[in-house]
Amino acid sequence: MMRRILSFVVLFFVALILPLGCSGSNQTNVSDSNTPSNVLSVYNWSTYIAPEVLTQFEKEFNAKIKYDTYENSEALYAKIQPGNPGYDVAFPGDYMVAIMANEGLLEELNLENIPNRTHLDSTFMNAPYDLENKYSLPYQWGTLGIGYNITATNNQEIDSWATMFDPKFAGRTAWLDDMRHTSHLAPIRKTTNT
């Protein structure tokens, strides 16, 4: 429930910056009050916002959301780098914000149009990849961890990254499709000189 509330709050925040979108206006002129007059085009990580939250947002704000997802930052970059295909809001990861800003792929935010930023934890503001929050504001943060079904592991706990490489789990593990977050997890094997 808390995730849904957070997602709705974030979408409300996004609605406040709709006029600042990366592309030209997506507004249409319609006289029917039941037809959405605004289209918000969003590009986000998959599974970050529940579909019912998007539906609720559309109803409450008489808007239409065009919602596309990606699996990793490189996919986002590959789609945006040749030229914005019409997204108003995108959610690049930390390091990708710096890359996209340096290449002129992001518009500067008008922070005066985002009064709710005062509710963001100052710990996450002015991050090294966007020191003055010119191009981004914090949305989510987290850590990489291991999730597993204890019954599928025959009640064996997976309590380390090394366990993920155990041959008895071969073909039954899945990894985050993001090299920056997973490549350093490969186990380092000690060798002995004889």
Are the C-beta atoms of residues 57 and 11 closer than 8 Å to each other?
A: yes
Q: What is the pLDDT of residue 19?
A: 35
Going by C-alpha positions, the residue among 87, 74, 100 that lies closest to residue 17 is: 87
Q: What is the pLDDT of residue 24?
A: 37
Geometric angle at alpha carbon 18, from 30 and 107, rounded to 5°: 130
Whole-angstrom distance, CA of residue 147 vs CA of residue 142: 14
Element (H, E) at 39: strand 38-45
Q: What is the pLDDT of residue 178?
A: 66
Exposed, middle or buried: residue 99 (CB in 10 Å: 0-12, 13-18, 19+)? middle
Q: What is the pLDDT of residue 35?
A: 52
Q: Per-residue DSSP letters for 40-77?
A: EEEEEETTSS-HHHHHHHHHHHTEEEEEEEESSHHHHH
Q: What is the pLDDT of residue 159?
A: 82
Whole-angstrom distance, CA of residue 18 vs CA of residue 25: 9
pLDDT along the chain (194 residues), means of 10: 42 40 37 63 89 94 93 90 90 91 93 91 90 89 78 84 81 72 60 53
Going by C-alpha positions, the residue among 92, 81, 80 that lies closest to residue 130 is: 92
Collapsed DSSP state (helix, strand, coil) of residue 104: coil
Amino acid letter, 81: Q
Are the C-beta atoms of residues 46 and 69 closer than 8 Å to each other?
A: yes
Q: What is the pLDDT of residue 43?
A: 95
